Structure 1
Amino acid sequence: MLEIIQNGGWMMVPIIIASVLALAITVERFWTLRPSQVAPADLLGRVWGWMKNKQLDGQRMRELRESSPLGRVLAAGLMNSRHGRQIMKESIEEVASHEIHEMERYLNALGTVAAVAPLMGLLGTVIGMIKVFAEIMVAGTGQANVLAGGISEALITTAAGLVVAIPALICHRILQRRVDELVVFMEQESLKLVDVLHGDREVADSTGAKQ
């Protein structure tokens, strides 16, 4: 493996750096964007239980804000619920926009790696072919080993760029889809909270009975 990297020439250095960056972002985002940590499915039910049992005090609100991004969105709505439906929705949207921005952190960088890595491989290919033609001009076509070295460098960098770009692109698409799904779920939960507090929706308890 080390010999292949060495044969790829100096363009292998930025390609390797790009691969490390893509791997780090992918691991961090998959860990951070776990649905159970971003938008727990049972969180709204717990909030409704606190409200029904009159347990929604300052301590519960702090617990809610610290629990997850969805918790912070719901807490913003609860804190402004007495000001009317429109103000409540605006406060939810304001906090949600910040949380969405945080969820999308580093995804642009991952997409950039996926787009740039093949170009770096192509640049390595061009450099390798330039070396081949330069050697042909100096020594002719008789030194096959020299020509093979330049061609090998060109092919290695092309392959390396694609090896980095393809997984990076796949992971970028998966993570972007995950963010979109989480955002939709958070919007649905927030609207349920708004509707419940302002009388447009009834909440069912665990037995299915309306409250």
Structure 2
Amino acid sequence: MVVLLANSKEIQMPLWDMITRGGPVMIPLSVLFLISIYICIERLWAFKKANEVQKRFMEATQRYLEKSEKNMALMSFCKGLNGPQSAMIDQGIKRMGLSTAEMREAMNQRALLELEKLERHLSVLNITGRIAPMFGFIGTIIGVITIFYDISLAKTVEIEIISKGLYQKMITSAGGLVVGVFAFICYHILTARVDRMEQRLHEAQEEFLDLQSHQST
């Protein structure tokens, strides 16, 4: 990090130096930040794989419905894909011959289970977005306490005395906000992905039931 002074000189402020000067509160903030990064990347990868699986899925399903021994072929096809959409359709295939309401209920239950899998760890991001600024506030309080404690020992007020506590106060405040904002943004991006997947599952369910009803008539 580079800071420009009034005389146009530059001062290099290493990131690691900023973190260590933030005090012990930076430890949980750093852990929360790393966890948030991991969850965000892992969930984005999970959504990417789910989207790849469901790409052109209903076109392939329609082709299988037109073949002989369509139930067994479709079941093998769905299990091989291993995605939310195929897992839901598999439940409908297993109940072919039953009423549409029974098929829909089974598919709805499976869709809910698949959505819960996609929502895994999102609550951690939500909690992190809420508590990270609080950790920053705790660091701010500790910094203020440090300032007054150092002043009481020195019996005088000088910039060198208060700079340590002030530095800690500002670093932890900024760190808490950065971690909180990052987790908050990741949480809402991933939640939007879950909502879109829910809509796609609903559309796939209706399309499958419509195809199945046409094939059975």
Normalised to the residue count of structure 2, the TM-score between the two structures is 0.86
Distance 1:11 1:36 in 2: 38
What pairs with 1:5-154 in structure 2 (closer than 5 Å)?
A: 5-34=19-48, 37=51, 40-54=54-68, 56-67=70-81, 68-154=83-169
Change (3 A) 1:182 1:39: farther
Distance 1:188 1:151 in 2: 56
- 2:12 aligns with none
Distance 1:78 1:115 in 2: 43
Render the CA deviation track for 1:95-145: whole Å, top value 9, x for unaligned.
111101001001111111111111111110111111112222332333421
- In structure 1, stretches of 5+ residues that fail to align are 203-210
Structure 2 counterpart of 1:51, one-letter code: L
Identity %: 24
Number of residues of Structure 1 aligned to a counterpart in Structure 2: 201
Distance 2:37 2:148 in 1: 36
Change (3 A) 1:92 1:25: same
Residue 65 of structure 1 deviates from its aligned partner by: 2.5
- 1:206 aligns with none
Residue 90 of structure 1 deviates from its aligned partner by: 0.7
Normalised to the residue count of structure 1, the TM-score between the two structures is 0.88
Q: Which has the higher contact order (CA 8 A, sep 6+)?
A: 1
Distance 1:58 1:44 in 2: 17
Q: Is the 8 A contact 2:64 2:73 kept in 1?
A: no
1:159 lines up with 2:174 in the alignment: yes
